[in-house]
């Protein structure tokens, strides 16, 4: 009989807790939301060894947002480019697409580096330039994905 009373008391307490939870959910939202990871600041840098005017186009893309930019420069400013900083969720991949072309139709060794909160997280080396120049491997478009 004592065991029965203990079990009955435990069930009564559990039922009270469940009732109280249902009561609270009536006045507040009880839906479980999947927590979003915090975001970080990202930017990309490019450096190359070509000596000509350049046009560089790049995309920073995720499921949430896309940032497209085009930059041009002359031989005097040739050599490096740093993208603006974007905020991007830490739980989504960041896709970086790059196209670069030089006015002298030559190719160059291009290094792309992705930074997350000022720390380097990915580095890629490419040969890029004029798609018609076989030394450029016939392509001036590259793509890389960073997974946080």
Give the model confidence (pLDDT) of 82-134 as tens digits.
888 888 888 888 888 888 777 777 777 888 899 999 899 999 988 777 667 66
The domain locations on the chain are 39-146
Grouping H, G, I as helix, E, B as strand and the rest as coil, residue 136 is helix
- Cβ–Cβ < 8 Å for 79, 53: no
84 and 68 Cβ atoms separated by less than 8 Å: no
Contacts of 53 (CB under 8 A, 6+ apart): 72, 73, 74, 75, 78, 102, 103, 104
d(CA 141, CA 126): 9
List of residues 6+ apart from 52 with CB closer than 8 A: 75, 78, 102, 103, 104, 106
Cα–Cα distance, 11 to 17 (Å, whole number): 10
In the predicted model, is pLDDT for residue 10 greater than 60? no
Nearest CA to 146 out of 110, 100, 99, 97 is that of 97
Tell me the average pLDDT across 10-33.
46
pLDDT digits (tens, 9 = 90+) for 25-61: 454 555 544 445 688 888 888 888 766 777 777 777 7
Element (H, E) at 17: helix 2-27
| Residue from 115, 139, 118 nearest 60 by CA | 115
């Amino acid at each position: 009989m004592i065991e029965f009373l203990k079990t009955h008391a435990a069930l009564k307490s559990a039922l009270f807790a469940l009732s109280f939870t249902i009561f609270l959910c009536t006045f507040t939202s009880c839906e479980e939301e999947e927590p979003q990871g915090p975001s970080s600041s990202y930017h990309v840098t490019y450096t190359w060894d070509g000596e000509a005017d350049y046009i560089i186009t790049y995309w920073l893309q995720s499921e949430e947002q896309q940032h497209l930019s085009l930059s041009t420069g002359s031989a005097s400013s040739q050599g490096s480019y740093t993208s603006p900083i974007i905020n991007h969720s830490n739980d989504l991949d960041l896709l970086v697409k790059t196209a670069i072309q030089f006015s002298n139709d030559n190719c160059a060794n291009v290094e792309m580096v992705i930074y997350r909160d000022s720390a380097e997280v990915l580095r890629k080396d490419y040969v890029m330039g004029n798609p018609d120049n076989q030394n450029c491997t016939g392509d001036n478009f590259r793509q890389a994905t960073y997974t946080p």
